[in-house]
């Protein structure tokens, strides 16, 4: 069997995203790591282009992606991994942005029944019944990212567990009064992160104060935006209630809005209020956010690899890959540097489980 990007990552002891960066000559890799990956790829006789060409015979050599929000930082990072992986394999990508289910049906009508794509990447949304029916009828290979459906291969982040880790970290720092700024709970990740937050407080016998827990009502980007974080924090401040000593925020970009709203009232982070968020987008480092890292780029690479494998092996049972985010400690939580430090473990960038 031909070597895959997973084989190289395992042998070189790096993440699959690092392998993809090396294969695509990204400058964001150290020379030592680059040399190790290239050496392993050569030893395993890895031939990505020959593999892609073999798959492409009698095919469009094009993949499709249905994605809800082009401007959402999470999706931007995942798409970077997808694009790099596709460059390595010689596939093109057609992106289709949607905001509601009717637009999904329109995409089905225009694309899936015309044989324009060889496979589909589907992001973070419930499936319309017509979508599932058409996919099965047309036998289109599908990989689902950030959502679960039993009929398809899925890549899901453990949002509930990630929220529990984030909340427990604040508790470990001595916080007993913790609020939450959440996205719109129509979003599955937002719903799961709220559940994990509340479950952790309950488990620790800490009070859950509803007046300091706000879920965005914004439909724009499902509430995962700077504006929603800012507005939600302003809503809490306007209530004139006792401010908690810490907040868990459901995304980094919201946390940036939260910090801005607090600063306008002269409330300092982390001196007055600690903040832990979720995602670890590029801006998180600049704002020194303690956050739960999702391996977004790697998820994109993994999604492409799985879709190519599904195209090659259409009859195998669907799989579920779950990814546990990692806590990245920076200044916003108030932890002293002697106790905590930002860490990046390239060898275990994420924890995953595969159920077959």
Confidence (pLDDT) at 240: 87
Residue pLDDT tens, the chain, 356 long: 567 777 888 888 888 778 877 877 677 788 888 888 888 888 888 766 544 554 455 566 788 888 886 667 888 889 899 988 888 777 888 888 776 666 777 777 676 665 678 889 998 887 777 778 778 777 889 999 988 889 899 999 999 999 999 999 999 999 999 999 999 998 889 999 999 999 999 999 999 999 999 999 877 778 899 999 999 999 999 998 999 999 999 999 999 999 999 999 999 999 999 999 999 998 999 999 999 999 999 999 999 999 999 988 888 999 999 999 999 999 999 985 434 444 433 333 333 333 33
Rounded to whole angstroms, the Cα distance separating 10 from 86 reads 21
Confidence (pLDDT) at 351: 36
Length of the chain: 356
In a domain, 22, yes or no: yes
In a domain, 317, yes or no: no
Closest C-alpha to 16, from 281, 350, 354:
350
Residues 38 and 166 in one domain: no
Rounded to whole angstroms, the Cα distance separating 238 from 35 reads 56
Residues 338 and 198 in one domain: yes
Confidence (pLDDT) at 71: 65
Residues 205 and 333 in one domain: yes
**Total domains present in the chain:** 2
In a domain, 174, yes or no: yes
230 close to 257: Cβ distance less than 8 angstroms: yes
For 341, the 3-state DSSP assignment is coil
Confidence (pLDDT) at 128: 74
Rounded to whole angstroms, the Cα distance separating 355 from 221 reads 30
Task: Tell me the CA distances in angstroms from 199 to 28, 162, 179, 206, 216, one per residue in order.
Answer: 38, 12, 13, 10, 20
- The packing angle between helices 5-12 and 296-312, to 10°, is 130
In a domain, 274, yes or no: yes
- Which of 10, 29, 46 represents a domain boundary (last residue)? 46
Q: Where in 56-184 does DSSP place strands (E)?
A: 62-67, 92-97, 119-123, 142-145, 153-157, 178-182
β partners of residue 291:
277, 328
In a domain, 9, yes or no: yes
Rounded to whole angstroms, the Cα distance separating 176 from 121 reads 42
Residues 42 and 163 in one domain: no
Domain that holds residue 17: 1-46
Residues 27 and 163 in one domain: no
Which CATH number goes with the domain that contains 257? 3.40.50.2300
In a domain, 200, yes or no: yes
In a domain, 300, yes or no: no
The model carries a pTM of: 0.78
Helix (H) or strand (E) holding 304, with range, is helix 296-312
Which CATH number goes with the domain that contains 10? 1.10.260.40
In a domain, 305, yes or no: no
Confidence (pLDDT) at 124: 82
């Amino acid at each position: 069997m031909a070597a895959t990007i997973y084989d190289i990552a395992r042998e070189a002891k790096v993440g699959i995203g690092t392998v993809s960066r090396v294969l695509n000559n990204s400058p964001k890799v150290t020379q030592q790591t680059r040399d190790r990956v290239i050496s392993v790829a050569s030893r395993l006789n890895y031939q990505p282009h020959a593999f892609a060409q073999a798959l492409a015979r009698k095919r469009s050599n094009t993949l499709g992606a249905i994605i809800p929000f082009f401007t959402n930082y999470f999706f931007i990072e995942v798409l970077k991994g997808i694009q790099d992986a596709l460059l390595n394999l010689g596939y093109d990508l057609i992106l289709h942005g949607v905001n509601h289910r009717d637009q999904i049906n329109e995409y089905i009508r225009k694309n899936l029944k015309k044989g324009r794509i060889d496979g589909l990447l589907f992001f973070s949304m419930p499936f319309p019944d017509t979508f599932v029916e058409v996919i099965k009828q047309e036998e289109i290979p599908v990989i689902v990212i950030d959502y679960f459906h039993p009929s398809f291969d899925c890549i899901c982040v453990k949002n509930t567990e990630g929220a529990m880790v984030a909340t427990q970290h604040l508790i470990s720092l001595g916080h007993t009064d913790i609020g939450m700024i959440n996205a719109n709970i129509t979003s599955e990740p937002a719903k799961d992160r709220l559940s994990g937050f509340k479950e952790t407080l309950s488990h620790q016998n800490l009070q859950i104060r509803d007046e300091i827990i706000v879920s965005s009502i914004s439909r724009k980007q499902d509430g995962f935006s700077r504006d929603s974080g800012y507005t939600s924090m302003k809503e809490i401040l306007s209530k004139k209630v006792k401010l908690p000593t810490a907040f868990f925020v459901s995304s980094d970009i919201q946390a940036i809005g939260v910090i801005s709203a607090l600063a306008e009232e002269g409330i300092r982070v982390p001196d007055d209020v600690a903040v832990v968020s979720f995602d670890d987008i590029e801006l998180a480092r600049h704002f020194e956010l303690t956050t739960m890292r999702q391996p977004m780029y790697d998820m994109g690479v993994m999604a492409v690899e799985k879709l190519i494998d599904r195209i090659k092996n259409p009859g195998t049972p669907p799989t579920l890959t779950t990814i546990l985010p990692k806590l990245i400690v920076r200044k916003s939580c108030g932890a002293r540097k002697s106790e905590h430090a930002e860490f990046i473990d390239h060898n275990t960038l994420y924890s995953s489980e595969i159920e077959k």
